[in-house]
Amino acid sequence: MNNSLEIPIYRNQADFEQNLPKTVEVLKTKEGNKVFLVGTVHFSLKSHHDVSTVIRNTNPSVVMLELCPLRKHMLDIDEETLLREASALNLRRISEIFVQKGLINGMFYLSFLRTNAKITKQLGVAPGGECRRAVEECKKLKHCKVLLGDRPIDITMQRALSPLTWRDKLMLSSIFNEPSISQMTPADVEAYKNRDIDYLRNLRLRFPSVYRSFVTERDQILAHNLMLATKLSGRNYCNVVGVVGVGHMNGICESFGQTKPEEIMKMMKQDLTPRPQNNGHNIIQNFSRILNIFKHK
C-alpha cells in the first residue's frame, strides 16, 4: 500500500456518507451530532489513508484517539526510534524495566516492545501511525481539538491482571511472542480488519478478566467519551471523528448512548478486591528484590 495514496474528496458530506470506507461507522446523537468511528489496525498504511479520508471529508470539531496520557508517546515514536530502543536491550536495561514496572508488567512491556520491533522491521511501519496521521490532519483544521479518550493503561493492566494467578500471567505474556503475531505480512495486517477477530475470541475464553478489562470496559469508556466529545463544541450538528482499534468497533457501537456515568467512574478505578496470595507472589517479590540489588551495583 502506497502511503501517498490519493485522498478522495467528495462534493459534500452526504456524498461521502454514501461512500464510507468499510471500516467506518456513523453514530448519531439526539442533538444531531455525528461520530465517524474509524476502525484501524496497527501497522496498516490503509488505516492511515482511511483516517485522512474521514477527517478531510467531515471537518470535525473533535478527533478522539484511543490513547491515554501514559501512551501519548505513541504520537512521537517512529520506526527508527522503536528499533533503536529494542536493540538497546541489555541486561542492565532489562533489570531497570523490571524494577520500574515490576516483574509481570515488565515482562509484558518487553514482550510488547520486541514483538512491535519485529513487525516494524518486517513491514517498515511503526505502531500508532493512524493516531499520528489523525493529529497531522487535525492541525490543518482551524478549530479541531485532539482528545485522548482511553482509560490510563496502568489501571487497565491492574484490573486485567489482578484476578490472575502468576502462572496465568506468565502464560498470557507468552501470547505476544507467538509466531503468528511476530511474523505478520501486510496481507495478515489487513485481515485483522475483520471485526470478529479470532485472537479476541480466544482471549475471552482463556482469560475473561483480561478480555473484560482490555476490551469490554474500554469499549464502554471510549463510547462514553465519544458522547462527551460531541458536546465539546457547544453546538449541535457538529462532527466528531473517533480513531480506535477495529476490535473495539462493535462494542463501542453497542454502548454508544447507553453508558451510565456512575458505572464508568467505577471502571476508571483500580480493582481493590482482596484476593489470596499464591506462591507466585513471593517468587515475584524476591525476583524484584534481586533486580533492585543488581541495579544499584
Structural contact between residues 196 and 249, judged by C-beta atoms closer than 8 angstroms:
no
pLDDT band per the 50, 70, 90 thresholds, residue 174: low
Say what percent of the chain tops pLDDT 70: 78
Q: Is 65 helix (H, G, I), strand (E, B) or coil?
A: strand
Element (H, E) at 64: strand 62-65
Please give the distance of CA 242 from its chain centroid, rounded to a whole number: 12
Structural contact between residues 146 and 241, judged by C-beta atoms closer than 8 angstroms:
no
* pLDDT confidence of residue 287: 46
* pLDDT confidence of residue 252: 98
Helices (H) and strands (E) in the chain — how many of each?
Answer: 16, 5
In a 13 Å sphere around the CA of 18, the CA atoms on its Cβ side amount to 6
- Domain ranges (residues) in the chain: 13-295
Enter the C-alpha cell of residue 26: 456513523
pLDDT band per the 50, 70, 90 thresholds, residue 152: very high
- pTM score of the predicted model: 0.82
* pLDDT confidence of residue 258: 96
Structural contact between residues 244 and 222, judged by C-beta atoms closer than 8 angstroms:
yes
Selection from 102, 95, 91, 92 nearest residue 284 by Cα? 102
Enter the C-alpha cell of residue 48: 492511515
How many residues does the structure list for the chain?
A: 297
Residue in the block written with cell 524484584: 288
Higher pLDDT, 71 or 274: 71
Selection from 175, 193, 196 nearest residue 43 by Cα? 193
* pLDDT confidence of residue 197: 65
Q: Is 25 helix (H, G, I), strand (E, B) or coil?
A: strand
Q: Is 184 helix (H, G, I), strand (E, B) or coil?
A: coil
**Residues with Cβ within 8 Å of residue 109, at least 6 apart in sequence:** 97, 101
Euclidean distance between CA atoms 241 and 86, whole angstroms: 33
Does residue 180 have a pLDDT over 60?
no
Residue in the block written with cell 536495561: 93
Q: What is the pLDDT of residues 271-294, one digit of tens each?
A: 877 665 555 445 444 444 444 444
Enter the C-alpha cell of residue 87: 536493540
Euclidean distance between CA atoms 222 and 218, whole angstroms: 6
**Residues with Cβ within 8 Å of residue 257, at least 6 apart in sequence:** 27, 29, 223, 227
Q: What is the pLDDT of residues 241-264, one digit of tens each?
A: 999 999 999 999 999 999 999 999
Does residue 106 have a pLDDT over 70?
yes
Give me the amino acid identity at 145. K
Euclidean distance between CA atoms 251 and 216, whole angstroms: 7
Q: Cα-atom radius of gyration of the chain, to the nearest Å? A: 20
Measured CA to CA in angstroms, residue 289 lies from 89, 98, 133, 142, 181 at distances of 20, 10, 42, 52, 32
